[in-house]
Amino acid sequence: MQPRIFLHSTSPQFRLQRRSQAIASKALSELDKLARAMAASCISLQLMLVVAALAAVASAQLSPTFYDTSCPRAAATIKSAVAAAVASEPRMGASLLRLHFHDCFVQGCDASVLLSGNEQDTAPNKDSLRGYGVIDNIKTQVEALCNQTVSCADILTLAARDSVVALGGPSWTVPLGRRDSIDANAAATLTDLPGPDSSRSQLEAAFLKKNLSTADMVALSGAHTLGQAQCQNFRTRIYGGDTNINAAYATSLKASCPQTGTGTSLAPLDPTTPNGFDNAYYANLMNQRGLLHSDQALFNNDTTDNAVRNFASSAAAFSSAFASAMVKMGNIEPKTGTQGQIRIVCSKVNS
């Protein structure tokens, strides 16, 4: 029989054994933490996949021919009304396009942004979004054709496309059949909408949250070939906040945007062709003439530089990518089937 060996607490063998036990215990603890983290990650991934699958199912229910029988003149009526509004005020094209973007990025393309109060009164939207009256006018015309048939969400989606076309941009086929929400989400406007001071990584995160890629983000940012921004949104950039800005451009902006004051004066997002839809926005970025910090962040020795160069050199490449990305954005979490309602008046839910 082999003799049992007893190790004294001060012996080197005992200390080595205790150290080995401690290391093993720590390793088991770390493995347990890793297993728990992996389990949590799997659950999170599964939830993300479920959400993505539900969104895919909803968008699959949309169809370009949705109103062909129930309201065949709706699309032409919307296009005509948008063309008239843009002809009267070219800036309105950018306003309708932006209204659609702010709608889709907050609980999906459901016309929640059109409900009076709530989302309209938060910091990103108040005294910023425009075009509600144009949409209301279009809705009145469409209701006269087909009572409670065409949703405000679809009207806004078509109006965004028709605004781009009216200003010389590309057209694309719009899947239809969205329904209107019966509520709005003011809190989400503060968390889901990218801001004028967003970094490139913050922009990517905001778009990825809506299942839009970096390529989609760069293409959709080209919407800033239209429209204007208030001084308060680029004041920090032109008064020393950023170094990646053309000095002469900054000086020209300071003439109408003083360092103090209300900051409500306007400057065009695209100083080259402010009322035309083209790819000049990207050429401006390459010359450090992006108006907002979030604009210039797309061309700042970073991962999106090549996409900017591509769009700056090819109007066709930009138009194609923009149209494709607009369809994807228009498919963000639509309400379909029996979800929501078809509002009679876009600014309020049905009584």
What are the catalytic residues?
102
Is 106 marked within a binding site? Answer: yes
Q: How far apart are CA 104 and CA 123, in angstroms?
A: 17
Is 183 marked within a binding site? Answer: no
The DSSP line for 135-190 is HHHHHHHHHHHSTTTS-HHHHHHHHHHHHHHHTT-------B--BB-S---HHHHH
Instruction: Indicate the residue type of 177.
Output: G
Is 119 marked within a binding site? Answer: yes
Is 197 marked within a binding site? Answer: no
Spatial contact of 169 and 277, defined as CB atoms under 8 Å apart: yes
Spatial contact of 210 and 325, defined as CB atoms under 8 Å apart: no
Spatial contact of 106 and 193, defined as CB atoms under 8 Å apart: yes
Is 192 marked within a binding site? Answer: no
Is 89 marked within a binding site? Answer: no
Query: 111: left (phi > 0), else alpha (psi -120 to 50), else beta?
Result: left
Is 224 marked within a binding site? Answer: yes
Is 278 marked within a binding site? Answer: yes
Which tokens belong to 286?
């390459």
Is 121 marked within a binding site? Answer: no
Is 225 marked within a binding site? Answer: yes
Q: How far apart are CA 30 and CA 219, in angstroms?
A: 44
The helix/strand/coil state of 243 is coil
Is 51 marked within a binding site? Answer: no
Binding-site sequence positions for heme b: 224
Binding-site sequence positions for substrate: 194
Binding-site sequence positions: 103, 106, 108, 110, 112, 119, 194, 224-225, 270, 273, 278
Binding-site sequence positions for Ca(2+): 103, 106, 108, 110, 112, 119, 225, 270, 273, 278
